[in-house]
Amino acid sequence: MPTATRPSMNRASSSESSIASTSASTSYLRRDRCRPPPLQFCAQMNADIRSNPVLDSPYFDLAGHIGNRAYCLHNVAYADSPTAETVTLLDVGVKDLLPVLMPAPTVLSPKGVTFAIRHSEGRGWARHVRSAEYPQRPILVAPYIIALQTHSEADIYAALLHRLSADTRMRFMELANCKPAEECGTLEGIMRTNAIGISLNVPDVPHPELATHRGIFLNISRCNHSCGPNAKWQWDPASFSLSLVALRPIHAGQEITVAYITPTCSRTERRAKLKAIYNFSCRCEFCARPASLTFKSDAARAELVSESGLPSFENWCLDANIPDHALIDAHMRAVSLIEAEGLQTLDSYGKHLDAIAMGYGALRDVEGFREWAWRAMDFRPMDSGASRVLENWILDPETFPVWGWRTSPTPFQRD
């Protein structure tokens, strides 16, 4: 499942008619006026979509896509929360694959943690840790690619908002809008500023881009960006809910931040991207570091992307010319760079923790193995089966599958 991301690609289609909304749970949009958009628009859109790794659609063809699609306005219903409001614009085929009643989320946020929205110096409103909040449902969901030529995006958002209660609509209108009026209307501006990328649970749809959507979450959309975020979004498509997962300890009163872009590039590149997409000059603590530290930080981030100097576990086990400490030292260096840069959001963080635990295991170092296996387990949520297996290895390290491989003369011949 792609991680929830903040989508950056938006395009308005031409406006021709308004959408008649109904109070029924689903209403279907007219298809009779669908026609292919201008060739140049198609070419640009095809290039954007084919090169976007989130969409994973290297052969996307907009004209063909439009010819085949029909959309509906649909209200999602929840088994656990009859009053929760989610209005959606959905491809009809996608809607038909979703459950009629969304089930309750199975993973809850850690108990005892609640959040407050407070003002954050120079960065507008933001979410701060207060003292239990459960995963949130979106109020509004629309496809990442709206291939409708009969309605403008503004018409579509207006029709969706019309289906929400007055209070929720007002809260939507209070969200930040980073887009100038010359670029787009208010509703599109609010969508582009606050929407979080989500993937719907529709494995049977033939085109991956059909699963990719954008959602507005009244509270979670308030999180500001940081180039070293202390939290990340975690979307659960099965229950249609989004959680914030802490990447390191967050104190009471501290601001919760997420990364709007992949933060591994240089400070200059990050700031240029954020300015281009979200129209702000980043004021996070990592950008605010003195210039003398920026060079070091840029180099650390580049090293983390290149993963240079990391021996493979198999080679290290087999090659006596590689020193015993080489594997653990290399991964520990990566862990300390990640921690110094606040980049626990990188997938590689968990892999480095695993590799260090495996290294200690291969060296039969009980203490080192236990410490790092706990850290690896602590960092990522596991299902109860996986954590029971890991706990058993921690209790009885000799049962760990690669135990002693570095010290064994023929490590890979073991069972």
Ligand X SMILES: C[S@@+](CC[C@H](N)C(=O)[O-])C[C@H]1O[C@@H](n2cnc3c(N)ncnc32)[C@H](O)[C@@H]1O
Q: Which of 136, 224, 230, 345 binds ligand X (CB under 6 A)?
A: 224
Task: Identify the residue among 221, 239, 241, 348 touching ligand X (CB under 6 A).
Answer: 221
In this structure, which long-range contacts are made by residues 271-275, counting pairs with CB atoms below 8 Å and at least 24 apart in sequence?
274/225
Binding mask 274-303 for ligand X (x = CB under 6 A): ----x-x-xxx-------------------
Measured at CB, which residue is nearest to ligand X? Answer: 124
Stretch that binds ligand X, among 12-20, 173-181, 358-366, 393-401 (CB under 6 A): 173-181
Please state, in angstroms and as integers, the Cα–Cα distance from residue 80 to each residue in 101, 137, 216, 243, following that order: 9, 11, 20, 16
CA–CA separation, 316 and 246 (whole Å): 33
| Contact with ligand X (CB under 6 A) among 11, 21, 28, 123 | 123
- How many C-beta atoms surround the C-beta of residue 217 within 10 A? 25
Determine if 146 is a binding residue for ligand X (CB under 6 A). no
- Cβ proximity to ligand X, 43 vs 293, nearer residue: 293
**Site stretch for ligand X (CB under 6 A), options 73-81, 148-156, 219-227, 343-351:** 219-227
Min dist CB 255 to ligand X, Å, is 10
Q: Which stretch binds ligand X (CB under 6 A): 137-145, 175-183, 333-341, 383-391?
A: 175-183
> In whole angstroms, what is the distance from residue 252 CA to residue 93 CA?
44
φ, ψ at 234 (rounded to 5°): -130, 110
Given the structure tokens 């291939």, which residue do they identify?
Answer: 147
Q: Is 171 in the site for ligand X (CB under 6 A)?
A: no
Cβ proximity of 178 and 194 under 8 Å: no
Q: In the 3-class helix/strand/coil scheme, how is 69-84 assigned residue by residue? A: CCEEEEEEEECCCCCC
- CA-based end-to-end distance of the chain: 33
- 126 binds ligand X per the rule CB under 6 A: yes
Among 9, 84, 97, 176, binds ligand X (CB under 6 A): 176
Binding of ligand X at residue 259 (CB under 6 A)? no
Check residue 194 for interaction with ligand X (CB under 6 A): yes
Question: Length of the chain in residues, anyone?
Answer: 415
**Of 74 and 270, which CB lies nearer to ligand X in the complex structure?**
270
**Interhelix angle 153-162/186-194, nearest 10 degrees:** 80
Out of 225, 232, 301, 352, point to the residue binding ligand X (CB under 6 A): 225
Q: Left (φ > 0), alpha (ψ -120 to 50) or beta: where does 180 sit? A: beta
Can you give the binding site for ligand X, defined by CB under 6 A? 123-126, 175-176, 178, 193-194, 221-222, 224-226, 278, 280, 282-284
